Structure formats: structure tokens, C-alpha cells
Amino acid sequence: MTPKASGKQEEKIIDTTRQAVPFNTGNIPGPKMARAVMPAISGKMLAKAKRPILIVGSEIDDPDVLERVVALGKAGIQIASVGDSYKYLGDKGLDAHYVNMHALASYLCDPEWPGLDGKGGYDLVVFFGITYYYASQAISALKNFSRMKVISIDKYYHPNADMSFGNLRKDVFIEALDEVIEQLPNKNSR
């Protein structure tokens, strides 16, 4: 179970919009950089999306982070498991598919891509837990060559996403993920 029980109104509100500067200092792509958002916004967008996809990568090995990936997967979100992250997810009964991140970025820019399960493309990309610079570069393809909405719910500020958290401490990051999960209609399936 995640540490935060649902419906606890009195809990302190975390602010994920602070420190909204590229985590790698030099990673400034241009005039358009991600809007820093609170987790409830990301969560609501994820809840509203008809066919979202969650991309996670090799940095989900931390048990606290992995627990949230599983929770998101159990809430019915299909997972694109990039890097070697599948090894953490394969036995969890999720709709998770291995795909190479660079190839995925290319496919997501192609309106004819039938998706990871052959059921069509996606309307929202959400990601976290991927090597920072690798994710940042890969999603620059989506930013510039697709109409895809991209939300980072990573602990790093990702300028190439449409929306992102700022750079977060681990405890705040975990809490932010919980708040995202909190918005999902099927959150209790976990």
C-alpha cells in the first residue's frame, strides 16, 4: 500500500511547481518549456485521457517508486516499459510492454502506429523513471514532431514535456505520485 491513505484532507499540500528549472543545468531547449504543475492537474489529465500511455524506464528499481508504477498500472493504464524496466514489472500482472524508448518516440510521432497492443494510438503520454537526459532527448521528438500531449511526473523538471513537476526531493516525489494516483477513477484496483 502507498503510505498516504485516500481522503486524508488534513495532510500538508506539497508544491511540485518549485525548482522548475532543467535538472541538467545546460538542458535549455528553447522558448517553449514545460509548464510546472501540481500533481492533481497531471492526475486529472491522466484520468480524463481516453487512451493514455505511461512510459517508465530503468530508474524504477527503487521499491517506493516501483510500488507507484504498479499502482498506476493496476489503475488500468497501459505501460510502455523502456530500458530494462520490464524486469521489475513482468510478474506484476500489468498491461506492460517492452519497447525501446528511442523507437517508441519515433512510433508515437507516427499517426499510423497501431500502439503497443495493436489497438491504436494514444492521446496522452505520461512518463517517469527514465535516465534523465535520455528521456529529455527522446521526448524532444514528440514535442517538435507530433501533436501528442506529454506530461512528466518525474522527480526532475523536464523542459521538453508540456507539463512537468519541478525538481523534487524523493519524499515529495513519492507524495506527488500518490496524488496523481489519487485522481484516477480505478485507483482502488490495486
Partner 1 sequence: MTLKKGSFIIEELENVQINIGKVGAKEEEIPEGPTPRPEIIGLRNWDNCIIDRYNPVYTPTADTCDYCTYGKCDLTGNKEGACGIDLEGQSARQALLISIMGSACHSAHGRHLLNYLIKKYGEDFPIDVGPSNLKAPLTETIMGITPKTIGDFIPVLEYVEEQLTQLIAATNTGQEGSSRDFESKALHAGMLDLLGMEVADIIQISCLGFPKSDEKAPLAEIGMGILDPKKPVVICVGHNIAAPAYILDFMDKNGQFDKIEIAGLCCTAHDMTRYNKTAKIIGSMSKELKYIRSGIPDVLVTDEQCVRADILKEAQKLHIPVIATNEKIMYGLPDRTNDSVDAIIEDLVSGKQQGVLLLDFEKVGELVPKLAMKMGPIRKAKGLTALPDDKEFKLLVAKCTKCLQCTKDCPQSLPISDAMAAAVNGDLSLFEILHDKCVGCGRCDYSCPSGIPVLNVIEKASQRVIREEKGKMRIGRGQIGDPEIREEGRNLVLGTTPGVLAFVGCGNYPDGTKDVYDIVEEMIQRSYIIISSGCSAMDIGMFKDKDGKTLYERYPGRFVKGNLLNTGSCVSNAHIAATTIKVASIFAGRKTKGNWEEIADYVLNRVGAVGIAWGAYSQKAFAIGTGCNRLGIPVVVGPHGTKYRRAFIGKPYKKENWNVLDGRDGSVVNVEPAPEHLMITAETKNEVMPLLAKLCFRPSDNSLGRAIKLTHYIELSEKYMKKLPDDWHIYVRSEADLPVAKREPLMKLLEEKGWKIDWEKKKIIEGPLRKVDVSFQPTNVSRLCKEAKK
11 close to 4: Cβ distance less than 8 angstroms? yes
Rule CB under 8 A: say whether 30 interacts with partner 1: yes
Among 11, 51, 84, 95, binds partner 1 (CB under 8 A): 84
Rule CB under 8 A: say whether 23 interacts with partner 1: yes
CB of 187 to partner 1, least distance (A): 27
CB of 83 to partner 1, least distance (A): 3
CB of 22 to partner 1, least distance (A): 9
186 close to 75: Cβ distance less than 8 angstroms? yes
The 10 Å Cβ neighbour count of residue 47 is 17
Rule CB under 8 A: say whether 62 interacts with partner 1: no
CB of 185 to partner 1, least distance (A): 29
Among 128, 132, 165, 173, binds partner 1 (CB under 8 A): 132
State the helix-helix crossing angle for 39-48 and 170-182, rounded to 10 degrees: 40
Rounded to whole angstroms, the Cα distance separating 41 from 28 reads 24
Residues that bind partner 1 (CB under 8 A): 23-26, 29-32, 57-58, 82-84, 86-87, 90-91, 97-98, 100-103, 105-107, 109-110, 112-114, 130-134, 137-138, 140-141, 143-145
